[in-house]
Amino acid sequence: MKIAVSGKGGVGKTTISASIARHLRDQGYQVYAIDADPDANLAQVLGIKEKVKPLVELEDVIAEKVGKKGSFYSLNPEVDDVVEDYSLVQDGIRFLRMGGIKKASSGCYCPENSFLNSIMRSLVFSRDEAVILDMGAGIEHLTRGTSAGVDIMLIICEASQVSLETARTIENLAREGGVKTIKFIANKVRSEKEQEFLKRKFTDDELLGIIPYSEELVLQGISENGDSGLLTAEIARLFAKLKLENNQ
Ligand SMILES: Nc1ncnc2c1ncn2[C@@H]1O[C@H](COP(=O)(O)OP(=O)(O)OP(=O)(O)O)[C@@H](O)[C@H]1O
Ligand SMILES: [Mg+2]
């Protein structure tokens, strides 16, 4: 199962990604949790203390696998071993940090992008494990080639017009890229009124679930003490629903 998580800044992508990773681990899956947001903190939320170097900064590995800047380089290097060797295991979850895709305007950084793209391909196509990609609002790590390997994109939003607009923009990008299934999760929902607002904006089929606002999550985060009970239960419920839908 390959799951991408996206949404506007601060909506709860990382919190939910970490919780999904733990849920799937507890269900017996081998889990890869991937930080694919250039300034994300998934490591911290998973309880990882050490600083993890982003893959995009592994200059020697990139030079070895892809080739050097300015010379011929491989568009499709074999990187399955990099995924093994450079992931860090915490509480039974394998963690990798991608680092940012280089923009074309910052010069020719093609080897780095080719490397990251191969890592993504390896993650979504070459393995049977569950892969959770914490993506940020930009989904540039998902190229036309790799989007097809994502089984489901979960777009997180809050009950606000701006967050819904971002959610729909991401949806369009993901659809254009070829992601097959896209669902929305509303997070930090505080009232009946917010629930009604969300139900007007999404069809029943689009909206996978509504996660209530939890003061406990704001105060403690989920890093040190594991998930809050509330989030654990909500994620289990959402996945049970997904499973049901897929079996139909
Ligand atoms: N259901 C919730 N209720 C209350 N607070 C929440 C809830 N879900 C997440 N939060 C809190 O919201 C804050 C932002 O969460 P998180 O870092 O997961 O968002 P994000 O979308 O990954 O942000 P960023 O765009 O910065 O990566 C955190 O303090 C988190 O504890
Ligand atoms: Mg985040």
pLDDT at 164: 97
Q: How far is the CA of 16 from the centre of ligand 2 (A)?
A: 9
Cα 184 → chain centroid: 14
Confirm if 139 and 28 have CB atoms less than 8 A apart.
no
Query: Which numbered ligand comes closest to the C-alpha of 137?
Result: 1
Q: Which pLDDT band, with edges at 50, 70 and 90, does 37 fall under? A: confident
pLDDT at 159: 98
pLDDT at 227: 57
CA distance 186 to 212: 8
Q: What is the mean pLDDT of residues 24-32?
A: 95
End-to-end CA distance of the chain: 17
Confirm if 189 and 210 have CB atoms less than 8 A apart.
yes
Name the residue among 85, 82, 114, 83 with its Cα closest to residue 101. 114
Over the chain, what is the mean pLDDT? 89
CATH T-level fold of 2-247: Rossmann fold (3.40.50)
Query: Which numbered ligand comes closest to the C-alpha of 189?
Result: 1
Confirm if 133 and 143 have CB atoms less than 8 A apart.
no
Residue 134, strand partner residues = 5, 35
Q: Determine whether the shortest distance from the Cβ of 8 to ligand 1 is under 6 A.
A: no
To test the ligand 1 pocket, which listed residue (5, 6, 14, 15) has its Cβ within 8 A of the most ligand atoms?
Answer: 15
| Domain residue spans of the chain | 2-247
The alpha carbon torsion through 225, 228, 231, 234 (nearest 10 deg) reads 120
pLDDT at 100: 83
Q: Which residue has the higher pLDDT, 149 or 77?
A: 149
Is residue 221 scored above 80 in pLDDT? no
